[in-house]
């Protein structure tokens, strides 16, 4: 790769590192490592682009599944180590191993993350691959929450695959190459690309609603907090130790509706000032929420049903999750699950591709969201249209594939 | 805007400037101008992201339509001149004018382009706004070509709006703000976001099929060629002089199918080598096609039905168009218009958001594609799922709005 391009990557890398983190950390400027205690794409600083695909396994043979995980791991090693290049001396009469669609692009801090859904362990009462006994208790069936408008085309899946990088053509190339390896073994069930704006280094990014998003997220460099809340420890099976559980939910946001609300109501709903990101009545983004503050009439300064109050650790017995969300935008649609047709039957099919990681979803997202789903003021503008939970096993070491100790121990 | 961010923009700007152009030119590093002879977004170097929306006008009053075009022009001036900022001293009891979703982002070489469809002039025989007599001859009804699989949700429209920039969150912010201004006047008919990979400066980018794309595109800095092929001159009505006609067609590409073809067949189909981009049998991308070359058996070296041969100016009486395409990727779909279900009923809903500009579509795209639709080898892998043609009027001068002389002269 030419020096010029490397320099470009460094600036891109540093441009996005503040997203969703409290403190300014340094994003990786080169390739992310595939091998390690943890899979890439969890504590990796959020990139500009992502592509998520859930698969249903169609084979009935365990060895096919194992071969797929080996193939996926090998391809991920190759793609994460270096930008795509054409195979030299490739036999022109053979099908090329790679599409070439990202040749000339950097691999753009590519991370690739694989996960296993509950249905891989047991589906419709069938223990398809002899894994039923190994299903971790934490890999629960996610409940349907108040207000959920889940569609099958955005829900569940036996396997999850996510590629994230600072280039939309790179993530598309990566998932296409990996999806091709699944032919005959698994079929794509649902997929969603996503993006982040290129916010400045050290600055919390804004979401589509115009608010800073991720101010209170866990700083991924804080090993203690990550071990406490995010990484599975010795309470889990060995194949999950160093792994985490990922909840993913495409959340349609009624952006038209939201944009028609006055500023004061928007701020009350979020519990923060729009411009500064500071808690209501405060000046700076990083100040404590101060939920016990009351006004002259004894009313809480931050509405107790605001998104910030409802989701705060202090109102949830210290519960914390690692949000790693992207925006999504599929253009417009005539389908509008929940709201009246604000724009004459068409609306943006856009919102949040919500993803979060936690040590245990029962004490993480499910605990947090059970209450939020009922009373968060923000729910007036959001519709959860899909839902899935995946066990994301620990990272692989050289010579091993993702999930190996689940299948071979 | 901080210096740091400006520097980032400069590198982004220069990283994409080679896309689709023959020669290395310098992309704008700062804001694009709104005012000018031409609208922005035509000869503007292609950015990394785009968002296209077609609208149908629902009002019956010409003054509503004129007001919308004024509002759109004013908002475009504002958004193109500077990055979004919060209105200082905004009344918190009022609906904010802007969503805030791009505050903190650069405006990322934003261009905004507006167009008028044939149905704005006359629809179902009704002269809705007294414009029927002003419909230019060149604003034809685009024929349905061989192989077209057009769906109404991706076809036609009275008005077109396109925002392009080097940030996905910026283009989404821009179209949302403009779409909101259309409430009660026009309804969104169809929309498609798109992207380009961040290829190196001075290098032709690759498309999703892995081939260099745009090698023979018109260099936009070549004033003579642009005047000859792209800009409407005095053969058109005054409101179109300095404008152009835009054809837009979302083209689904059967990427799975393509990726399963051997390299030699892929190269024969395109008529170029995949790695170098050179014409078959040649070494360098920029060499002439040499379509008259034959092998020892007298067979053309470049297949006469290859994409390069079929679309070349020398096989089309010198016809040239300005391609300004983006890739699109909507995830996966179970709908597969044309091809058998390569991947067990699901396929990527991805391909080319083809857009091109020309002085007259009858001697531009329609002439070129009538033949291509029948015999281009590439058609085996592509399906045109939508189609639209818009008259893109000349740019506005200060104090005027886009399309003013169509409505007021």
Within B97-148, residue ranges assigned H as helices are 118-121
Out of A17-31, A71-85, A367-381, B350-364, least confident range? A17-31
Contacts of A197 in chain B (CB under 8 A): 101-102, 104-105, 167-170
Q: Which of A95, A260, A344 sits opposite B260 (nearest CB)?
A: A95
Rounded to the nearest 5 degrees, what angle is found at the Cα of B334, between the Cα atoms of B329 and B338?
85
CB contact under 8 A, A99 and B345: no
Inter-chain contact A193–B331, Cβ cutoff 8 Å?
yes
CA dihedral A207, A208, A210, A212 (to 10 degrees): 0
Average pLDDT over residues B115-121: 98
> Which residues of B fall within a CB distance of 8 Å from A262?
92-96
pLDDT, residue B30, reads 62
Interchain pair A5, B200: CB under 8 A: yes
Distance between A351 CA and the closest CA of chain B, angstroms? 11
Residue A166 with chain B: CB contacts under 8 Å: 198
Output the six-digit token pair for B12. 């982004």
pLDDT given for residue B126 in this prediction: 96
Residue with tokens 């009891």: B93
Contacts of B2 in chain A (CB under 8 A): 200
Average pLDDT over residues A165-174: 97
Cα A248–Cα A250–Cα A251 angle in degrees, nearest 5? 125
Nearest to B264 among A92, A103, A172 (CB): A92
The distance from CA B377 to its chain's CA centroid, rounded to whole angstroms, is 23
Cβ-nearest to A100 among B93, B206, B350: B206
Instruction: State the pLDDT at residue B54.
Output: 98
- Residues B177 and A175: their CA atoms lie apart, in Å, by 32
Residue B27 scores a pLDDT above 60: no
The better pLDDT of the pair A22, B55 is held by B55
Question: Which residues of chain A make contact with B151, given a CB cutoff of 8 A?
Answer: none
Half-sphere exposure of B129 (CA within 13 A, CB side): 23
State the smallest CA–CA distance between residue A238 and chain B in angstroms.
34
Q: What is the DSSP letter of B34?
A: S
Do residues B382 and B351 make contact, with C-beta atoms less than 8 angstroms apart? yes
Instruction: Report which of B10, B13, B201, B48 is spatially closest to residue A4, judged by C-alpha positions.
Output: B201
Cβ atoms of B206 and A100 within 8 Å: the answer is: yes
Three-point CA angle B237, B241, B247, nearest 5°: 95
Which chain B residues are Cβ-neighbours of A167 within 8 angstroms?
Answer: 197-198
Nearest CB to B100 within list A49, A206, A332? A206
User: Is A5's pLDDT higher than 80?
Assistant: no
In a domain? residue A215: yes
Contacts of A350 in chain B (CB under 8 A): 172
Do the domain assignments include residue A110? Answer: yes
With beta carbons under 8 A apart, name residues in chain B contacting A96: 210, 259, 262-263, 266, 274
Which residue in the set B7, B86, B199 is minimally distant from A275, CB to CB?
B86
Most A-contacting residue of B83, B152, B160, B168 (CB-CB within 10 A), to test interface: B168
Q: What is the dihedral of CA A161, A163, A164, A170, to 10 degrees?
A: -160
Strand partners for A195: A49, A327
Six-digit token string for B145: 């070509």
Interchain proximity A208–B96, CB inside 8 Å = no
Nearest to B253 by CA among B345, B336, B197: B336
Residue A27 lies in a domain: no
pLDDT at residue B206 is higher than 90: yes
Interface touch B206/A102, C-beta < 8 Å: yes
Model pLDDT, residue B334: 76
Tokens of B392: 């893109």
β-strands B388-392, A159-165 pairing: unpaired
What integer pLDDT is reported at residue A30 of this predicted model? 62
Cβ of B263 within 8 Å of Cβ of A7? The answer is: no
Whether the predicted pLDDT of B3 surpasses 50: no
Q: Are B300 and B290 in contact (CB under 8 A)?
A: no
pLDDT confidence bin for B17, thresholds 50/70/90: very low
Q: Are B202 and B24 within 8 A, CB to CB?
A: yes
Q: Which residue has the higher pLDDT, B341 or A320?
A: A320
- Assigned domain for A122 exists: yes
Q: Look at strands A382-384 and A322-323 and give their pairing.
A: unpaired
Task: Give the H or E element holding residue B204.
Answer: none
pLDDT band at A15 (very low <50, low <70, confident <90, very high): very low
Domain that holds residue A365: 3-21+49-84+96-196+205-408
- Check B330 against A327: CB less than 8 A apart: no
In this prediction, residues A276-281 reach a mean pLDDT of 97
Which of A98, A183, A205 is facing B343, going by the closest CB pair? A183
The ipTM is 0.89
Q: What is the pLDDT of residue B14?
A: 29
Q: How confident is the model at residue B16 (pLDDT cuts 50, 70, 90)?
A: very low
Determine contact, residues B274/B263, Cβ cutoff 8 Å: yes
Within a domain: A40: no
Locate the chain B residue with the closest alpha carbon to A213. Answer: B101
User: Looking at A93-102, A357-366, B359-368, which range is the least confident one?
Assistant: A93-102
pLDDT at A206 over 90: yes
Taking one residue from A and the other from B, the number of pairs with CB-CB distance under 8 angstroms is: 257
Secondary structure of residue B314 in the 3-state scheme:
helix
Please compute the mean of the pLDDT values over residues B296-322 and round it to a whole number: 95
In tens, the pLDDT along A245-263 reads: 999 999 999 898 899 899 9
Rounded mean pLDDT, A31-47 = 94
Asked whether residue A338 is domain-assigned, the answer is yes
Count the alpha carbons within 13 Å of B11 in the hemisphere toward its beta carbon.
18
Helix axes B3-16, A3-16, angle to 10 degrees: 130
| Interchain proximity A327–B169, CB inside 8 Å | yes
**pLDDT at B140 (0 to 100):** 98
pLDDT confidence bin for B28, thresholds 50/70/90: very low
Q: Do B274 and A86 touch (CB under 8 A)?
A: yes
The pLDDT-based confidence of A49 (bands split at 50, 70, 90) is: very high
Domain count, chain A: 1
Task: State the pLDDT confidence band at B15, using cuts at 50, 70 and 90.
Answer: very low
User: CB within 8 A of A279, min separation 6: which ones?
Assistant: A271, A272, A273, A287, A288, A289, A290, A302, A308
Nearest by Cα to A237 from A136, A140, A131:
A136
How large a percentage of chain B has pLDDT more than 90? 81
Residue of A nearest to B330 (CA): A330
B197–A167 CB contact, under 8 Å: yes
Q: CA-nearest residue of chain A to B98?
A: A259
The nearest CA of chain A is from the CA of B86 a distance in Å of: 7
- Lowest-confidence region among A172-181, B332-341, B393-402: B332-341
Distance from CA of B98 to the nearest CA of A (A): 8
Chosen for mutation from A54, A101, A205 (greatest number of chain B CBs closer than 10 Å) is A101
Entry pTM: 0.91
Mean pLDDT of all residues belonging to chain A? 89
Indicate whether A204 pLDDT > 60: yes
Helix (H, G, I), strand (E, B) or coil at B317: coil
Average of per-residue pLDDT across B111-134: 97
pLDDT at B151 over 60: yes
CA distance B345 to chain A (A): 8
Percent of chain B residues past pLDDT 70, beyond the cut: 90
Q: Contact, A187 vs B343, CB < 8 A?
A: yes
Q: Does residue A213 lie in a domain region?
A: yes
Q: What is the distance between the terminal CA atoms of chain A, rounded to a whole angstrom?
A: 41
% chain A with pLDDT above 70:
90
For chain A, the three-class secondary structure string (H helix, E strand, C coil) is: CCHHHHHHHHHHHHHHCCCCCCCCCCCCCCCCCCCCCCCCCCCCCCCCEEEEEEEEECCCCHHHHHHHHHHHHHHHHHHHHCCCCCCCCCCCCCCCCCCCCCCCCCCCCCEEEEEEEHHHHCECCECCCCCHHHCCCCCCCCCCCCCCCCCHHHECCCEEEEEEECCHHHHHHHHHHHHHHCCCCEEEEEEEEEECCCCCCCCCCECCCCCECCCCCCCCCCHHHHHHHCCCCCCCCHHHCCCEEEEEEEEEECHHHHHCCCHHHHHHHHCECCCCCCECCCCCCCCCCCCCCECCCCCECCCCCCHHHHHCHHHCCCCCCEECCEEEEEEEECCCCCCCCCCCCCEEEEEEEEEEEECCCCCCHHHHHHHHHHHCHHHHHEEECCEEEEEECCCCCCCCCCCHHHHHC
For residue A233, the distance in angstroms to the closest alpha carbon of chain B comes to 34
Determine whether the interchain pair B343/A179 forms a contact, defined as Cβ–Cβ distance below 8 Å: yes
> For B225-272, what is each residue's pLDDT tens digit?
999 999 999 999 999 999 999 999 999 998 988 998 999 999 999 999
DSSP B407: H
Residue-wise pLDDT for A287-318, tens only, equals 999 999 999 999 999 999 999 999 999 899 99
**Is residue A34 a part of any domain in this protein?**
no
Percent of chain A exceeding pLDDT 90 equals 81
- Residues of A with Cβ-Cβ distance to B180 under 8 angstroms: 256, 259
User: Hey, are the CB atoms on B259 and A176 less than 8 Å from each other?
Assistant: yes
**Range A99-115 average pLDDT:** 94
Q: Would you state the structure tokens that stand for residue A168, as one six-digit string?
A: 């939309």
Residues A139-149: what's their mean pLDDT? 95
């Amino acid at each position: 790769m030419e020096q010029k391009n490397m320099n470009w990557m460094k600036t891109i890398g540093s441009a996005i590192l503040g997203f969703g983190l409290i403190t300014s950390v340094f994003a990786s400027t080169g390739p992310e490592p595939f091998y390690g205690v943890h899979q890439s794409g969890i504590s990796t600083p959020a990139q500009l682009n992502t592509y998520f695909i859930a698969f249903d396994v169609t084979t009935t043979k365990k060895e096919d599944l194992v071969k797929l995980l080996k193939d996926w791991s090998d391809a991920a090693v190759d793609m994460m180590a270096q930008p795509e290049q054409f195979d030299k001396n490739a036999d022109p009469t053979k099908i090329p191993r790679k599409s070439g669609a990202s040749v000339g692009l950097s691999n753009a801090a590519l991370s690739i993350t694989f996960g296993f859904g509950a249905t891989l362990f047991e589906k419709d009462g069938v223990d398809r691959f002899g894994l039923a006994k190994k299903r971790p208790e934490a890999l629960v069936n996610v409940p349907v929450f108040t207000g959920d408008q889940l569609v099958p085309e955005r829900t569940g899946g036996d396997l999850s695959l996510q590629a994230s990088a600072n280039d939309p053509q790179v993530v598309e190339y990566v998932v296409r190459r990996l999806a091709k390896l699944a032919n005959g073994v698994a079929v794509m069930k649902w997929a969603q690309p996503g993006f982040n704006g290129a916010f400045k280094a050290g600055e919390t990014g804004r979401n589509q609603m115009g608010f800073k998003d991720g101010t209170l997220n866990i700083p991924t460099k804080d090993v203690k907090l990550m071990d406490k809340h995010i990484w599975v420890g010795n309470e889990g099976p060995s194949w999950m130790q160093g792994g985490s559980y990922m909840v993913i939910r495409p959340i349609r946001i009624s952006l038209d509706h939201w944009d028609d609300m006055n500023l004061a109501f928007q701020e009350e709903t979020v519990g923060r000032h729009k411009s500064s990101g500071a808690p209501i009545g405060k000046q700076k983004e990083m100040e404590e929420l101060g939920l016990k503050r009351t006004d002259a009439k004894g009313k809480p300064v931050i509405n107790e049903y605001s998104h910030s109050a409802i989701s705060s650790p202090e109102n949830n017995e210290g519960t914390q999750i690692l949000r790693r969300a992207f925006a999504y935008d599929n253009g417009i649609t005539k389908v509008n699950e929940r709201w009246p047709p604000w724009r004459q039957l068409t609306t943006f099919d856009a919102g949040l591709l919500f993803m979060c990681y936690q040590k245990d979803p029962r004490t993480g997202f499910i605990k947090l969201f059970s209450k939020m789903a009922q009373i968060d003021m923000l729910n007036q503008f959001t519709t959860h249209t899909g839902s899935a939970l995946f066990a994301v096993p620990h990272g692989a070491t050289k010579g091993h594939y993702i999930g190996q100790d689940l299948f071979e121990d």
